[in-house]
Structure 1
């Protein structure tokens, strides 16, 4: 028998297994790519929703539910109308020790730095914001990352950096619950609002894309607020 009519050799078992493994590898790669494409598509769909949530239209989104009269040193629950939950102290491995939860807890209270404990809470009055769960005062730290909120153990005059806004400066905040309140920080010169952020969903109003600077300035001047937001 000459070479022209030599029989066709069947592929060895090793070659068959090798070819099969190559096919399976290609299928695994195709499957992985398909999964990645689906995940990317889902993230692109979810991104606009998350971005929309991160853009508050107004800083007047807090409700303060006092356990008694609307006065300094009277505990209250702090509810955010936009989030639909209450702001609580919650220890975290990183970021601000805060978390939104669906139940009310009277763990916050305003403290005056210049005497007059248990006096009525007034709009645009400098106050310290105390949390009973951690026994510390919430303050703006000025860190270059996150919302820069932190805690102070001992009350100092510089800790009186919060103002309730939403009514005429100097007027009492009225009966509980105090609705549509704005939480202004005199160190940051901005309003604390609910907006998406890794950790707890809190940002500063002026840093959001939907902040209406001109309208806010007109409101502050009309209400007699000082200082104005930066």
Structure 2
């Protein structure tokens, strides 16, 4: 069965110019990612993981190489991509429902149908009874679930997760990583996550294969394919 290739990273390098000369943040990185996969880049801080996410999202231009999303070259930010950051960035003065609707409001897509979809996500993933609560009333893990639902609300094809659990304690990180993996599987999303914690990367119920990234990027690439 042919799998749909959704992300193509071709010989991507990022070079910064300093008084000491050129410094490579990334060098000759090539990765193909298919629909329904979670790909995790594991490596220490400062090794280029977040830089690669920024290039994929269109927030940062590569010095060399190209990135394609669904066959189209990435030239700028792309509405097909959802980005989940290290912090949940929930607005404390808005309810959980208000927070998860904000992307739809910004994109002028909020209507009865999209609101119903968001409320279904909240109900399905255990936040329906908390939709009128404020972020300060939720646990760290619940806040991260709300942040993910906010990202899913605009129905992106691909999710980029930049150390999304780093603000949580270790046990909560492992639990919420498993929960997030289940949500992504249920919603049939493709995701790219970066982390420095290999235990966090493999703490979900997926088939896992390990591969060194191409080029000079230090992290290990972990390809997670959903169990049937």
The two structures have a TM-score, normalised by structure 2, of: 0.26
Q: Which has the larger radius of gyration?
A: 1
Structure number with the higher helix fraction is 2
Higher strand share: 2
Higher relative contact order (CA 8 A, sep 6+): 2
